[in-house]
Amino acid sequence: MLSLDFICQHPQVVQEALRRRRDMRKFDDIVRLAEQRRGLITRKDGLYAGLKGLKETLRTAQDEKRQALNAQTKATMIDIRKLELQVSDVDTHLRLLLLDFPNLPHESVQDCDADREVQVWGEPITYYFEPRAHWELGEQLGIIDAESGARIAGSRFVTLKGAGARLERALISFMLDVHTREHGYTEILPPFLARRSVMTGAGQLPKFEEQAYACSDDELYLNPTAEVPLVGMHSSSILLGDNLPIRYASWTTAFRREAGSVSHHTRGLIRLHQFNKVELFQIVTPQDSYYALEQMRSHAEAILRYLDLPYRVVELCAKNLPFSAAKTFDIEVWMPSQQEYVEIASISNCEAFQARRANIKYRPANGARTEYVHTLNASGLAVGRTMAALLEVYQQADGTVVIPKVLRPFMGTSLLTAASQ
């Protein structure tokens, strides 16, 4: 969330940021309400000053004047209460507008119509046969059952069976082991449900309300990404500067309704309503956040390099930035059956945007003023999409799939076949 003071003091900066995002919201509404709020508070403060004078006069007034002074005091208090209610109403409207206001792009983010490719790693394999799509391979191997997933929960749900379920578990364990043992993250397994206040703090609500699965009776939401509970762990807290950075790696099952989404990736494991993801999350000081962004990008890339999966990195342009992000890199893995790169990870620096919403601050030193932290998140990685890429890249002409060496200790086999259940 942006500071109201910053918006009012730098309206041209904010308007330019909205233009870069191609966001045509009514910025003037916030400025108008802020001016209205200032006027109401000025009037209220003036009445409070007058009320204080009336009370002083009343204390020494003669009896014949007390009735009029009492009436004037009561009328002033009524006027003050009316103004307080008006200020409260304006504050409510302002907060709703601010909660729906996107983060400002970092100055280094390109103002253009297309994302910029910044790195390519690995060469797409040339097959001497027509590569199959991962959902075809999964069905033939008996490890991905879309039919039973749909029977249980509807479209865009799948059931993983046998070696498919084991491969999903192997990928989760492998990713967590790398991030905790080699990259220095603390593993977290949070609740899969979050309060509305936590969803709001992370930037999910009210913007993405229609995408969330809600448990209305309990006012809880199914986790759309582990980033949400990881933000919530430190909401309304003041951290010590010596304890930063905080690094978390978390596996959760994520739930997204994907309401209104348009994509040609509607089959297999690419765009599901329920999927597993290993999330990386850091809380850092403002001066360290862009170093941390590059670091987290390298941590996500490391998983793909261990698995020897070709990928590319793109830097998102301003108009494609996620709602909460000031700068974002996407990592896209090569999918042979589609002959294209598909997003498998997103790495974002949210700067102080989430910290303001969730009220997360730090104290640089004893006696120093508190400041908002910066928060960053990264997929490390999306598990289902990683499995999809593995099945396609490592497929053989006979329909079997080779297991990458780093996963064989978790799988207990080097080859997936229709009989390896």
What DSSP assignment string belongs to 271-293? S-SEEEEEEEEEEE-GGGHHHHH
State whether 295 and 386 are in the same domain.
Answer: yes
Which of 99, 126, 141 represents a domain boundary (last residue)?
99
Of 256, 297, 356, 357, which residue is the catalytic one?
256
What is the DSSP pairing of strand 186-188 with strand 415-416?
Answer: unpaired
What is the DSSP pairing of strand 374-382 with strand 274-284?
Answer: antiparallel
CB 213 within 8 A of CB 255: yes
Judge whether 151 counts as a catalytic residue: no
Judge whether 95 counts as a catalytic residue: no
Residue 107 lies in a domain: no
Residue 313 lies in a domain: yes
Residue 392, CA atoms < 13 Å, CB-side half-sphere: 31
Residues with Cβ within 8 Å of 339's Cβ and at least 6 positions away in sequence, in order, are: none
Task: Give the domain CATH number at 157.
Answer: 3.30.930.10
Domain encompassing residue 258: 116-416
Judge whether 271 counts as a catalytic residue: yes
Residue 28 lies in a domain: yes
State whether 258 and 331 are in the same domain.
Answer: yes
| Cα distance from N-terminal residue to C-terminal residue, the chain | 49
Residue 111 lies in a domain: no
**Nearest by Cα to 225 from 260, 197, 259, 199:** 199
State whether 136 and 28 are in the same domain.
Answer: no
Q: Does 279 belong to an annotated binding site?
A: yes
SS3 220: strand
Judge whether 130 counts as a catalytic residue: no
State whether 77 and 133 are in the same domain.
Answer: no
Q: Does 257 belong to an annotated binding site?
A: yes
State whether 390 and 307 are in the same domain.
Answer: yes
Residue 152 lies in a domain: yes
State whether 261 and 372 are in the same domain.
Answer: yes
CB atoms within 10 A of CB 161: 16
Exposure string over 274-294, b if 16+ CB within 10 A, otherwise e: bbbbbbbbbbbbeeebbebbe
Burial class (CB in 10 A: 0-12, 13-18, 19+), 23: middle
Note the helical H segments in 249-348. 289-306
State whether 179 and 294 are in the same domain.
Answer: yes
CA distance readout (Å), 130 to 142, 311, 335, 336, 396: 20, 21, 13, 9, 10
pTM > 0.75: yes or no: yes
Q: Is residue 239 reached through a cis peptide bond, with omega within 30 degrees of 0 on the bond before it?
A: no
Rounded (10°) CA dihedral 255, 259, 265, 271: 0
Judge whether 346 counts as a catalytic residue: yes
Q: Does 366 belong to an annotated binding site?
A: no
Instruction: Give all strands of the β-sheet with 327-335 in edge-to-edge order.
Output: 116-121, 311-315, 327-335, 340-349, 374-382, 274-284, 246-255, 186-188
Which of 42, 74, 99 represents a domain boundary (last residue)?
99
State whether 237 and 91 are in the same domain.
Answer: no
Give the number of domains in the chain: 2
State whether 91 and 186 are in the same domain.
Answer: no
Q: What is the pLDDT along the chain (421 residues), one digit of tens a residue?
A: 788 888 888 888 999 999 999 987 777 888 889 899 899 989 888 887 877 776 767 666 666 666 676 777 778 888 888 888 998 999 899 889 899 999 999 999 999 989 999 999 999 989 999 999 999 999 999 999 999 999 999 999 999 999 999 999 999 999 999 999 999 999 999 999 999 999 999 999 999 999 999 998 899 999 999 999 999 999 999 999 999 999 999 999 999 998 655 556 678 899 999 999 999 999 999 999 999 999 999 999 999 999 999 999 999 999 999 999 999 999 999 999 999 999 999 999 999 999 999 999 999 988 889 999 999 999 999 999 999 999 999 999 999 999 999 999 999 999 999 866 6
Of 16, 209, 343, 371, which residue is the catalytic one?
343
Which of 99, 125, 142 represents a domain boundary (last residue)?
99
State whether 94 and 121 are in the same domain.
Answer: no
Q: Which two tokens stand for residue 79?
A: 């006027």
State whether 51 and 143 are in the same domain.
Answer: no
Q: Which two tokens stand for residue 245?
A: 């950075």
Residue 104 lies in a domain: no
Residue 278 lies in a domain: yes
Residue 105 lies in a domain: no
Of 346, 348, 351, 356, which residue is the catalytic one?
346
Task: Give the domain CATH number at 8.
Answer: 1.10.287.40
HEC readout, 113-161: CCCEEEEEECCCCCCCCCCCCHHHHHHHHCCEEHHHHHHHHCCCCCEEC
State whether 78 and 121 are in the same domain.
Answer: no
